[in-house]
């Protein structure tokens, strides 16, 4: 790290990003939003696969544009020895390597951690994989659904047996890959600042899933009764923490866990006194609350709960949430994304506080494939 005084904390940090799809590119986006120079390494001709996903937004997919704004693109064939030479020349100016291949692939290309640390001893080398660098599953292919399934997390919220539910977010990719990668890269940069030492970060998405199930693991190990979908306090087994359908097809999210919130909720929905002590017969309480909520439209419950201290809300659609005055006022959608055709969209909100990000007036765009080749490779040629 060369510039701690800049408004953006990662100004002066260069990242070579070999990753594709979601976990690594989102991590690279967060680093770029904090000021890092992120150079995306892509194969010549087609670039990374996400460029070609639908829906398209100009030249590339909207997904690619959202994840790769503010980065630079370097098109190199990693099976070509000349490309490897160029990358090794870039090491003297590189702080972080971000890669997402299966274990051993980068080493076979001559770009493993041991190869590159000889050139840059302070290099921080971050590898994101499904199952980690070693172990019986290290070479097993998988995606998010496999990772949350293998770690037991999916079993806690899989829904009815005849209608299993797929989670609405790629939990392992983001909570298991992106966030731990960013956190550990920042820790490694701080460690290097103090010691001058680099390191290899082994980020296994499956490893990081168990943190999300901490409560279920604690309960299961202590009592011998392991939580299941629909049975535990936080998976729908309690009337206090449950999703109830309203009359018009909307849903009410009830999270009245603490007694004071539960008592206020019971007052508002006019639950009978005999059912308010849900420790007696929680199923009976669930049935009655379901009847009460389903007798009214979502708007009725929204107005009733508005301003009340009871941890209850009507589930918003994603479109409604992006228009919510609260999120608008907090500036989550102030940053704009542009494309080569002059199109403009709100950019994806990222977990970087405004003080550390680029100004929202700066229109960002995803890089054209290989657009940094002349600049970056030209510098390599001049350096010999």
The pair of structure tokens assigned to 142 is: 């998988």
The alpha-carbon radius of gyration of the chain (Å, integer) is 25
Q: Is 194 one of the catalytic residues?
A: no
Contact 28, 20 (CB under 8 A): no
* 93: CB partners within 8 A, 6+ apart: 14
The pair of structure tokens assigned to 291 is: 């009847």
Q: What SS3 state is found at 271?
A: coil
Strand order in the sheet with 96-99: 72-75, 37-42, 14-17, 96-99, 124-129, 199-204
Q: Could you say which of 17, 37, 144, 173 is catalytic?
A: 173
Q: Could you say which of 115, 143, 200, 334 is catalytic?
A: 143
| Per-residue CA distances from 338 to 57, 304, 343, 359 (Å) | 10, 41, 5, 15
| Chain centre distance of CA 197 | 28
27's enclosing H/E stretch is helix 23-33
Instruction: For strands 344-346 and 336-338, give the pairing.
Output: antiparallel
Concatenating the DSSP letter of every residue in 66-120 gives HHHTT-EEEE--TTSHHHHHHHHHHGGG--EEEE-SPTTHHHHTT-SHHHHHTT-
Residues noted as catalytic: 143, 173
């Amino acid at each position: 790290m060369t510039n701690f005084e800049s408004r953006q904390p990662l100004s002066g940090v260069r990242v070579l990003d070999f990753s594709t799809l979601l976990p690594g590119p989102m991590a690279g986006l967060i680093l770029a939003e904090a000021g890092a120079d992120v150079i995306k390494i892509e194969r010549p001709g087609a670039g990374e696969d996400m460029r070609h996903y639908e829906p398209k937004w100009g030249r590339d997919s909207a997904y690619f544009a959202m994840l790769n704004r503010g980065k630079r693109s370097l098109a190199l064939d990693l099976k070509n020895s000349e490309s490897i030479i160029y990358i090794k020349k870039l090491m003297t100016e590189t702080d972080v390597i971000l890669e997402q291949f299966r274990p051993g692939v980068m080493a076979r290309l001559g770009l493993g951690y041991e190869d590159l640390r000889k050139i840059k001893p302070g290099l921080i080398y971050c590898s994101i994989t499904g199952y980690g660098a070693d172990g019986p599953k290290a070479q097993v292919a998988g995606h998010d659904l496999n990772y949350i399934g293998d770690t037991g997390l999916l079993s806690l919220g899989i829904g009815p047996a005849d209608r299993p539910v797929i989670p609405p977010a790629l939990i392992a990719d983001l909570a298991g890959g992106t966030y731990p990668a960013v956190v550990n890269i920042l820790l490694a940069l701080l460690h290097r600042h103090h010691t001058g030492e680099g390191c290899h970060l082994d980020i296994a998405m499956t490893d990081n899933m168990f943190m999300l199930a901490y409560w279920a693991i604690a309960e299961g190990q202590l009592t011998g009764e392991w939580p299941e979908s629909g049975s535990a306090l936080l998976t729908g087994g309690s009337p206090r923490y449950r999703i109830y359908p309203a009359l018009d097809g909307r849903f009410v999210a009830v999270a009245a866990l603490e007694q004071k919130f539960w008592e206020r909720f019971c007052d508002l929905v006019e639950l009978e006194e005999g059912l308010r002590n849900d420790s007696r017969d929680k199923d009976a309480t669930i049935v009655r609350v379901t009847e009460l909520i389903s007798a009214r439209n979502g708007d009725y419950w929204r107005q009733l709960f508005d301003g009340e201290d009871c941890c209850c809300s009507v589930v918003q659609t994603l479109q409604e949430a992006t228009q919510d005055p609260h999120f608008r006022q907090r500036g989550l959608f102030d940053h704009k994304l542009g494309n080569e055709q002059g199109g403009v969209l709100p950019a994806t909100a990222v977990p970087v506080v405004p003080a550390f990000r680029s100004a929202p007036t700066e229109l960002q765009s995803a890089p054209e494939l290989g657009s940094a080749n002349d600049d970056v490779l030209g510098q390599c040629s001049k350096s010999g």
